[in-house]
Amino acid sequence: MSTGKAKGRGVKDITAERLARLNAGAEATTLTECLAVDFAELIGNILPEIGCDALSEIRVNASTGILRRMSLAADVIVDRLGAGAFERVARHPSDTARGWACFMIGNAAEMDLCARLDTIRPFAADPHFGVREWSWMAVRPHLTAELDRTIALLAEWTADPSDRIRRFASEAIRPRGVWCAHITVLKKQPELALAVIEPLRADPSTYVQDSVANWLNDASKDHPGWVEALCARWSSKNPTLATTRICRRGLRSIKNTDRKA
């Protein structure tokens, strides 16, 4: 997950006043603040009718991993308050609440892949860095389950005017990714995703460039020769500064290995 603008602070550095504001529904400004939010307190403050038993369930799982807690909070909200609660959290100022909305979409049992992507799209374009990360993490299992169709659909997103949408297309199907299960098929056959990463090879946005470079770096762990050949082709056919930056960063693990050899 992107860390936001401020760095170098830990949870202990967050003042009690600031933490209270986060738990009341204020938007986080850093990854540290995102991770410091007390889910039970936040839910109790923004959805007070949810009931003590629901909050107890959230508290019992407070020490589990962040993805599990995000998914669990989404399920608890829907279970206690119904699908109608979606709009309340989806429009809330709290980035964590909007993240729960992402997981409501991800956890929905009966939803076609195209509809799921359409529904998550506003969150992929959210102004907050954390919500944008939750958006792809929440639906990634569904993207992986229908990978061929996912790639065809996301290939269309690469032409979107928003760099946030273009970045989602790449980030959501990184072979290794961050805080998520790997996509075994793409680790074995990275070329299957060319319909998504090829159109982004000279993207003007550094936000997108970093994602494509990380995609290539993921692939280089299993297929260094393929990544080197792809970067060589891109560089010879489209020698832009953007492509140069993507390839340099995408080849970093290979370069580091060569230096150590």
Please write the tens of the pLDDT for every residue from 119-137.
Answer: 999 999 999 999 999 999 9
Give the bridge partners for 30, in sequence order.
Answer: 4
Is the pLDDT assigned to residue 2 strictly greater than 90?
Answer: no
Residue 206, domain member (yes or no): no
Question: Model confidence at 257, in pLDDT bands (50, 70, 90)?
Answer: low
Are 123 and 131 contacting, i.e. CB atoms less than 8 angstroms apart? Answer: yes
Which structural domain range is residue 123 located in? 1-145
Give the bridge partners for 4, in sequence order.
Answer: 30
Average pLDDT over residues 150-167: 98
Residue 158, domain member (yes or no): no
Q: Which residue has the higher pLDDT, 256 or 202?
A: 202
Question: Model confidence at 9, in pLDDT bands (50, 70, 90)?
Answer: low
Q: What pLDDT score was predicted for residue 11?
A: 82
* pLDDT tens digits for range 66-110: 999 999 999 999 999 999 999 999 999 999 999 999 999 999 998
C-alpha dihedral over 58, 43, 90, 181, to 10 degrees?
-20
Six token digits for residue 106: 């991800």
Residue 99, domain member (yes or no): yes
Is the pLDDT assigned to residue 35 strictly greater than 90?
Answer: yes
Is the pLDDT assigned to residue 255 strictly greater than 90?
Answer: no
What's the domain count of the chain? 1
Residue 163, domain member (yes or no): no
Q: What pLDDT score was predicted for residue 139?
A: 98
Specify the range with the lowest mean pLDDT, choosing from 84-93, 140-149, 188-197, 247-256. 247-256
Residue 180, domain member (yes or no): no
Residue 198, domain member (yes or no): no
Mean pLDDT of the chain: 94
Question: Model confidence at 7, in pLDDT bands (50, 70, 90)?
Answer: very low
Q: What pLDDT score was predicted for residue 91?
A: 97
Residue 152, domain member (yes or no): no
Question: Model confidence at 239, in pLDDT bands (50, 70, 90)?
Answer: confident
* pLDDT tens digits for range 192-229: 999 999 999 999 999 999 999 999 999 999 999 999 99
DSSP H helices in the chain: 16-24, 31-36, 39-46, 52-60, 66-81, 85-90, 95-107, 113-124, 129-145, 147-157, 163-171, 184-188, 194-197, 206-220, 224-237, 241-250, 252-260
Six token digits for residue 239: 């020698």
The fraction of the chain above a pLDDT of 70, given in percent, is 94
